[in-house]
Structure 1
Amino acid sequence: MRLHLTKASVAALVFCSLATGVSADTLRLALAGEHQSVDPHFSRTSPNQNTAAHIFDTLVTIDEAMQRQPSLAVSWKALDDLTWEIKLREGVKFHDGSDFDSADVISSVERVPNVANSPAPFTSSVSMIDTIEAVDALTLRVTTKGPTPGLMQGLGGVYILPSELGNDVASAEFDNGNAAIGTGPYKFVSWTPNESLVLDANETYWAGAPAYDDVVIRYIPNAASRVATLLAGDVDAIDKVPPADTDTIEKRDDLKVVDSVSGRVIYLHMDSDREVTPFITEKDGSEIKNPLRDARVRKALSLMLDRGRIVQSILSGKGTPTGQMVPEGFMGFNPAIDVPQADIDEAKRLLAEAGYPDGFKITIHGPNDRYVNDAKVLQAVSQLFARAGLTSEVQAMPKNVYFKSASKREFSVFLVGFGTTSGDSLRGLRQVMATYDKENGVGTFNRGRFSNEAFDELVAEASATFDEGEKAELLEQAAQIGFDQEQGILPLYFEQLIWGMDDDITLSTRPIERTLAQNFAPKE
């Protein structure tokens, strides 16, 4: 029998979830990252999308092979270079019982640019659209501003809301539950910030009801505390297991570790734009012109980094060193780009050639609760910079403070991650490294404002071609410029996704950073 939660019973369920012997119909998760808002359009960051994917659906979804599959859209086709027809799924209902139709997609697309204070907006997902109109209740006609072969890669990832909410509904209305109405596998019950999210199964979900009736997601950013919670039996599964703790979990007969390759690259972004950057000075603290504007300096920083050593010593080998945006097997991976090897002598030579023979003082910023061992990675990078003659310091901070400051461009060199949720590098190159263009939704995550005309032209051509072979070649050429020649960003490694869980449950994994209740099930 399914439990149906009322708000009055939420506190009791959360309390009971801390004890062993709770109902087998309840799944208890502990996650490292908490969303900033339940509003599915507020931010593209992984914690926000992880929450949204429980409650809301998109037009398409991604399968285990990173290929797009039908979701709320059942088919889509290009009628010509600028016109698309999209057929929608019949019989889908929102959690409030209303029918899903074309008007809901149109309204959702129109709302995206209007979300206030978004730190990572979905604007780029809809910026290519010129017009979107309903042919009938289940058919859309979309015209684009230019040839857009990847339309469904962008538009297909926008979460769909009931049109009755309107375009101006505030994010706070989702956070209190009033507007948290989707078509997804779970219904919103409550959110207590910095504590927990409670969900109730959508029994009439169009793709079939999820395995668990109720879900309690606790947010525990401290890794040691998260592991301890699992070991104590207070939760059924946790994400982001520190690599050093996997052995402890695997030694338990009642627990197990599940891991998966990841498309998330961890990298250093650099302010390569401003004349003076706030956290690079002479060693005595006096102001200097921004050295990061010189590609030789960026190359020198890359050569100071021993990526293999970082992965082995900080991640216990649970990562893959890299020098580009996507791993091998993804379109856009360039086999001619080797993983940069540390070379201190060459780094010093390049610094001297660029006019910095004595180095400079640098402060590296990053989160201390977002990526696996992120604060330790920052310290390792700082030590490697110091080994090469720089005066280096670290400032690590909670992610909710860090990302707001990073988006305001308050840093000089800073640690970031980007997860590729498609089978190619186009979105990453377009959003992280292409020249910032707010109006057209390009360079949304280019917080360092790297800019290269030849790189931009290749990315634009890759965005416009319907020929997959040509697209792959263009993306590889762009990678050659962005990573091998210009060092627009400094990729370090690809994270490995690691979960710890009860031995009597299963998890369906894929190489994107998601821990979704609908992907768990009791072991048969």
Structure 2
Amino acid sequence: MPNQLPRRRPVNALAFACTALVMAILAGCAPASTTNSAAPAELGDPVQGGSATLATQGAPVNMDPAEAQLYASIQVYQNIFSTLINVDENFEFVSNLAESWQQDDDLTWSFTLVEGVKFHNGETLTAGDVAFSIERMRTAAQGVFVSVFESVEVIDDLNFKIHLSAPYGPMEATLASVVGIVNQKAVESSDPKEKPVGTGPYKLTKWVKGSTVTLTRFDDYFKSEKPYLDEVVFEAVPDDSVRLAGLQTGQFDWIQTVPAQQIPELVKSSKFGHTDAGAYLPYLLILNTTSGPFTSLEARQGLNWLIDREQIVDLAFSGAAVEASEAVSNDHPFYSGVDIYEGAPDIDKGQALFDEAGVVGEPIVILVDQADSAYALIAQVIQSELAEVGMTATIETVASSEYFGRMVSKDFDIAMTYFTASLDPALTYNLLGQSESGFNFTGYQSSELDAALEEFTTSTDQDARKAFYPDLVEAFQEESPFIFVANRETQYFTSSTLGGASSVPTLEVRAEDLWQAAAE
């Protein structure tokens, strides 16, 4: 019998989205690893002063946390703004702007702020700023994440309650990953996309669009011992090899990703620091269920039986990934290990299902965003596997702007993508699979899946959610509107003198922890 969760009031939390947010969570850059960086030599205790240049894959396009566009934007502005709570590398939620918090009942959460927190404009953080931040977010691009936040009740300057329209299981995950707190006065007096004012460890001092962003230390940061560095520069360098060359020559102190085939050699090197490998980034196939061969359940199931995940990991990621059949990897508290297609690839089973679907010979278009080289390599594996059962697939590689337009208009049969909103699997499955979600690019609608999602999302008993999660995974695997294939393992690499690099499940670049040791 499936595990049953207590029934809750219906939730329509994910009924809209916009292209800007699509770009933020589907077209980001690969994240870092799961643990603190390992330096080639003992660096001693953190020290104040100095600067660091961080080379990322992309350039930010705006600095407003309510209007997320691209992971490259988020990487930068998460050092300008603060969230109410944080999450550590062990998936534990810890205090940040909120000194304490508790769930009063299914629909109410109470919070107390840290006293005396300052914004970059000198204003003092109050509960009113939190209420303002959440309210404006509800009608902005990121509103899809807080649509069950019915109201914020301000008790006094330091205390407030968040009232929900329905119980919400991933409450803490949402607050830790997407709700940046802004200052009302700053937002109303200037363009927050261009002139961000937060409570974070760094403030924006220079922005050369498409190239670099310079952040300087905020001396009144509420964590008095941080940040350590006086200045952090984010530099956009799209090419993996160019970033690596910059690290090797001393141009960069920290780089986001390197060519996967060079990771083993770099990890062994005594010249660089690195973070341990981890898997926070699920890659998946989006199937168009509104037209073409994948309107057939049998064809979708048949594709599952064709997929060689081991080959995808080896070819697309040079082994720097783990095979995946669900949204989270095996170090995540919710990981289920469910795979109803265990034993794939099995060409005979795949062939039988494509024959039953009656679609053999129909053309298939595999849509690839040119921004990620792994997409094309995965597509080549899928193309080859489809050929085994008489299906001819054409790979179409396009620019990001065209890619998202075609995703929205469903001008594809299979689309390659990855998904960064994966701190809690409810965020992933709801956004991608709920019938009315703006992120449901598959077009698949199922009252049964919606009911399972509602149970999983609206339970506030985390143990019950974990018990139910395997049933949710199995239900989505059975219907297969989308198919997870790998969780990418990536690493940050650093200079020999940079300490404090780490990664957490929210995929933040926490520059407040970085520091420079004296060069030998």
Query: TM-score normalized by structure 1?
Result: 0.83
Aligned equivalents of 2:95 and 2:410: distance in 1? 38
Q: Deviations over 1:330-357 (max 9, x none)?
A: 344323425642122221211110112x
Aligned equivalents of 1:317 and 1:98: distance in 2? 49
Show the counterpart of 1:226.
Answer: 243
Question: What's the offset of the Cα at 1:202?
Answer: 1.2
Amino acid at match of 1:504: T
TM alignment of 1:144-155, pairs within 5 A: 144-155=164-175
Aligned equivalents of 1:114 and 1:322: distance in 2? 34
Asked whether 1:477 is paired with 2:471, we answer: yes
Structure 2 vs 1, CA of residues 521 and 389 (structure 1 numbering), >3 Å: closer, same or farther? Answer: farther
The equivalent position to 2:98 in structure 1, one of 58, 73, 92, is: 73
Q: Deviations over 1:200-225 (max 9, x none)?
A: 11122112321211111111111222
Show the counterpart of 2:351.
Answer: 348
Amino acid at match of 2:255: I
State the SS of the aligned residue for 1:262.
Answer: strand
Aligned equivalents of 2:458 and 2:357: distance in 1? 37
Amino acid at match of 2:435: T
Asked whether 1:57 is paired with 2:57, we answer: no
Show the counterpart of 1:429.
Answer: 429
The equivalent position to 1:95 in structure 2, one of 120, 130, 136, is: 120
Show the counterpart of 1:164.
Answer: 185
Show the counterpart of 1:269.
Answer: 286
The equivalent position to 1:461 in structure 2, one of 449, 455, 463, is: 455
Amino acid at match of 2:298: R
Q: Deviations over 1:479-516 (max 9, x none)?
A: 11001x11121101001022222122231233443334
Structure 2 vs 1, CA of residues 139 and 113 (structure 1 numbering), >3 Å: closer, same or farther? Answer: same
Higher relative contact order (CA 8 A, sep 6+): 2
Show the counterpart of 2:309.
Answer: 307
Q: Deviations over 1:223-274 (max 9, x none)?
A: 22222222222111211212112245457542244332122110011121x2
Number of residue-to-residue matches in the alignment: 467
Aligned equivalents of 1:237 and 1:190: distance in 2? 19
State the SS of the aligned residue for 2:214.
Answer: strand
**Residues 51 and 516 in structure 2, CA contact (< 8 A), matched pair in contact too:** no
Aligned equivalents of 1:451 and 1:332: distance in 2? 25
The equivalent position to 2:210 in structure 1, one of 189, 194, 214, is: 194
Question: What's the offset of the Cα at 1:57?
Answer: 0.7
Structure 2 vs 1, CA of residues 49 and 143 (structure 1 numbering), >3 Å: closer, same or farther? Answer: same
Question: What's the offset of the Cα at 1:45?
Answer: 4.8
Show the counterpart of 2:263.
Answer: 246
Show the counterpart of 1:19.
Answer: none
State the SS of the aligned residue for 2:419.
Answer: strand
TM alignment of 1:404-443, pairs within 5 A: 404-422=405-423, 424-436=424-436, 443=437
Unaligned runs of 5+ in 1: 1-22, 116-120, 277-289, 437-442
Question: What's the offset of the Cα at 1:404?
Answer: 4.8
Show the counterpart of 1:7.
Answer: none
The equivalent position to 2:143 in structure 1, one of 102, 107, 123, is: 123
Amino acid at match of 1:447: F
Structure 2 vs 1, CA of residues 435 and 342 (structure 1 numbering), >3 Å: closer, same or farther? Answer: same
Show the counterpart of 2:11.
Answer: none
Show the counterpart of 1:385.
Answer: 386
State the SS of the aligned residue for 1:373.
Answer: helix
Show the counterpart of 2:18.
Answer: none
The equivalent position to 1:316 in structure 2, one of 315, 318, 322, is: 318
Aligned equivalents of 2:90 and 2:461: distance in 1? 20
More displaced, 243-252 or 456-465?
A: 243-252
Question: What's the offset of the Cα at 1:159?
Answer: 0.7
More displaced, 240-249 or 49-58?
A: 240-249
Moved over 6 A (4+): none
Aligned equivalents of 1:192 and 1:316: distance in 2? 34
Structure 2 vs 1, CA of residues 147 and 175 (structure 1 numbering), >3 Å: closer, same or farther? Answer: closer
State the SS of the aligned residue for 1:136.
Answer: coil
Aligned equivalents of 2:310 and 2:211: distance in 1? 36
State the SS of the aligned residue for 2:365.
Answer: strand
Structure 2 vs 1, CA of residues 303 and 36 (structure 1 numbering), >3 Å: closer, same or farther? Answer: farther
State the SS of the aligned residue for 1:92.
Answer: coil
Q: Deviations over 1:352-394 (max 9, x none)?
A: 10112x3321121122224x63333333333333343222122
Structure 2 vs 1, CA of residues 271 and 165 (structure 1 numbering), >3 Å: closer, same or farther? Answer: farther
**Identity within the alignment, %:** 23
**Residues 62 and 69 in structure 2, CA contact (< 8 A), matched pair in contact too:** no
Q: CA RMSD in A?
A: 2.4
Aligned equivalents of 1:253 and 1:130: distance in 2? 53
Show the counterpart of 1:515.
Answer: 509
